Amino acid sequence: MRILKTLKEFAYFLEASHLRHAPEMGIQLPKNFDLEKYKSMPKPEKIKYAKENVPRKTIISFQNACGMAMSPTFGIKTLPVRGFAGIRKENVGMVIQKFRTVRTVTLA
């Protein structure tokens, strides 16, 4: 039980340190949350600031939105590729969505 609680806390703190992406995910942050100030803080301060200024429910909603965004929907238009991610540019496998190619025509 303690390990599970620790993992939940870790996930909570991880999302609290990445709230700069919340608006992109459709999560509305409180009006008293200064996003520019938050972006300039080191990670431990971001977590503390988020805990003090963002309701836990909002951070959990952000966690859920991130999880849903990372769950690929496989189909005819998805393609597995190798790539890199993160600050250390680590090799990872990704699934990308192929988009329809649009032809352009230049008129003389």
Q: What is the mean pLDDT of residues 91-97?
A: 76
Check residue 40 and give its pLDDT. 93
60's tokens: 């959990």
**Residues present in the chain in total:** 108
Q: What is the mean pLDDT of residues 71-79?
A: 69
Query: Using an 8 Å Cβ cutoff, are 53 and 32 in contact?
Result: yes
Please give the Cα distance from 93 to 100 (Å, whole number): 22
86's tokens: 């993160």
Report pLDDT digits (tens) over 13-62.
Answer: 777 788 888 888 888 999 999 999 999 999 889 888 988 999 989 988 88
Report domain extents, the chain: 2-69
3-class DSSP assignment, residue 33: coil
> Would you say the pTM of this structure is higher than 0.85?
no
- Which residues face 43 on adjacent strands? none
Q: Which segment, 7-11, 58-62, 73-77, is predicted with the most confidence on average?
A: 58-62
- Which residues face 94 on adjacent strands? 81
